[in-house]
Structure 1
């Protein structure tokens, strides 16, 4: 299929947009996320389907009040609480030919849907995504956001740090054609994390385009505590390891950096113990000390990240945010890396993102 064929096919899609949002324990974020969806300026009918998991923080009651107050909002239940299961349930319950995935921890920028749909039709793509612009309202969350928005934090993917418009490996959230989703079989419900990457792989294998548009922006609010961040990244790493087991080299090289760091730390600990106990000495000890060099370089990187702003024009960062950066980056990388190694060796199994369970969040201002 040529680019012109794709564009004609996509342009022929009828009007109507279905926003789908998986929700679990998001009382602090849900109203803002829903408001950003309902405020989208569209010249065609739209709806929002919430895939509601069994929440314990009052999210269920809040979602029901929101749905009762606006006929554009409806609810489907997701008792399994898994994201791809909820997404598929919401897609099946929705009505329109264009599907816009939304996260309850995110907020769409004004004009997001209008531009994304225009890009979808202009390019003939099957899925269009943009920038995930992480933000924080506490020093800890701001430190995590700084890492998310940096190549040193999450590996420099286009939707984290930006790139020119064009074909992409995957798309953050995504504005998708329903006919293509139906053709490739929706989200794989056996993939609990990284489900978007896996779906986009199948979309590309079917001969369709996945497209990155840097003018699209979504605000993302990271986890609010160290333990929740560690749990999130361990689960994400485990599922990336599972995806490596399933798809091998189709996974980008950047995914292997955190497990390499984790292995380097483990090896350095072993060498350190052997040196302290005298098992390694002399020339052998000197040669083995080379294992520390990557860790010294990594420590310098973390310190630079903590001290310097992302851009010269950025406002000064607080001392607490800078101190948190020293903990946030190693936590993200090592938790992800250890999870990855577990996932590669024995599979992800029933690993879930425990940071989403039983949470008590501070409401957004």
Structure 2
């Protein structure tokens, strides 16, 4: 019989009880009786999220509840799962996502057939029944995982498979980053010579952001992350104070109805501005506390 490597699915979460319940329910049929373990890493939630995770963990020995209370960072939560899991392949899924029946089996089949070390899956954004203009805009911008891998050498951490030996070689996610940690890690993996693969036929589902406030919070965080990438990794991303060219903000497709083109075009410009504000906020904050020095960056698996 062919050797089957051990697998762990890692889900970070912070104050999202319904999202983590949805994701665990979606993943649970695919981990039961298969030797796959699900590590749910709570990042210091202050609501009922930890109680929900504990409830699932108490009824299913394949589900492990982890806590990362020291560092407020989704990447720190993912690192906690990587350190704890002893599996040879680690899959990363965000809380609030869902996967179809057979997702894990299909993904592992592709991962194994192409002898991948690092692989991103296809992500489809799902709309509510009566979507707002913001929700339709977010859906239109899409989740271009294939383009990320091909042109920017990374896959988002919501749809990522990585072999453990890659972490042992290049280190963990940089927990200092509020956004862009997936890109920074992927770029390290690429620079170390590992091949990257896109599993276009393996699809996961992510709900759209359906309010302007949620979209603004995301793009403000992305802007902060762009500055932090330069602050902590200037050799790769440039000097802080000179923002990189905007990426990830898609112009409206010309095939859209005129009203949608106008709305989406306006939202795209606003989001570029929001990212700029996030960048400026982080740049000014860095200047204020530069005398304090930087916290340690990504480290090996043995670190606490």
Structure 2 partner of 1:142: 135
Shift of 1:45: 1.3
Contact 1:50–1:76 (CA under 8 A) maintained in structure 2: yes
Query: Which structure ranks higher in relative contact order (CA pairs < 8 Å, sequence separation ≥ 6)?
Result: 1
How far apart in 1 are the matches of 2:173 and 2:236? 18
Distance of aligned partners of 1:68 and 1:327 in 2 relative to their CA distance in 1, 3 Å threshold: farther
1:45 aligns with 2:38: no
Question: Helix, strand or coil for the counterpart of 2:87?
Answer: coil
Distance of aligned partners of 1:125 and 1:70 in 2 relative to their CA distance in 1, 3 Å threshold: same
Of 43, 48, 66 in structure 2, the residue corresponding to residue 58 of structure 1 is 48
1:197 aligns with 2:183: yes
How far apart in 1 are the matches of 2:244 and 2:122? 19
Distance of aligned partners of 1:231 and 1:198 in 2 relative to their CA distance in 1, 3 Å threshold: same
Distance of aligned partners of 1:51 and 1:246 in 2 relative to their CA distance in 1, 3 Å threshold: same
TM-score (norm: length of structure 1): 0.65
1:257 aligns with 2:257: no
- Runs (4 or more) in structure 1 with deviation over 3 Å come to 41-44, 162-168, 244-252, 301-306, 321-331, 340-350
Contact 2:220–2:275 (CA under 8 A) maintained in structure 1: yes
1:185-224: per-residue Cα shift (whole Å, max 9, x none)?
Answer: 1212222311111111111111111211211222112334
The range that moved more, 336-345 or 163-172, is 163-172
1:172 aligns with 2:156: yes
Of 91, 94, 100 in structure 2, the residue corresponding to residue 100 of structure 1 is 91
> 1:197-276 counterparts in 2 under 5 A?
197-247=183-233, 256-257=245-246
Q: How many residues align?
A: 279
How far apart in 2 are the matches of 1:28 and 1:168? 32
Shift of 1:136: 2.5
> 1:350-361 counterparts in 2 under 5 A?
none
Structure 2 partner of 1:329: 268
How far apart in 1 are the matches of 2:49 and 2:39? 15
Distance of aligned partners of 1:143 and 1:347 in 2 relative to their CA distance in 1, 3 Å threshold: farther
The range that moved more, 138-147 or 113-122, is 138-147
How far apart in 1 are the matches of 2:75 and 2:62? 22
How far apart in 2 are the matches of 1:166 and 1:213? 12
Structure 2 partner of 1:86: 77
How far apart in 2 are the matches of 1:346 and 1:164? 29
1:161-180: per-residue Cα shift (whole Å, max 9, x none)?
Answer: x5699797111331110111
How far apart in 1 are the matches of 2:269 and 2:58? 44
Contact 2:14–2:49 (CA under 8 A) maintained in structure 1: yes
Shift of 1:13: 7.4
TM-score (norm: length of structure 2): 0.77
What value does the CA root-mean-square deviation take over the aligned residues?
A: 3.7
Structure 2 partner of 1:285: none
Distance of aligned partners of 1:305 and 1:205 in 2 relative to their CA distance in 1, 3 Å threshold: same
Shift of 1:255: 5.8
Contact 1:24–1:81 (CA under 8 A) maintained in structure 2: no
How far apart in 1 are the matches of 2:271 and 2:211? 12
Distance of aligned partners of 1:89 and 1:302 in 2 relative to their CA distance in 1, 3 Å threshold: same
1:227-269: per-residue Cα shift (whole Å, max 9, x none)?
Answer: 22212210111112322455568569x961369x9xxxxxxxx
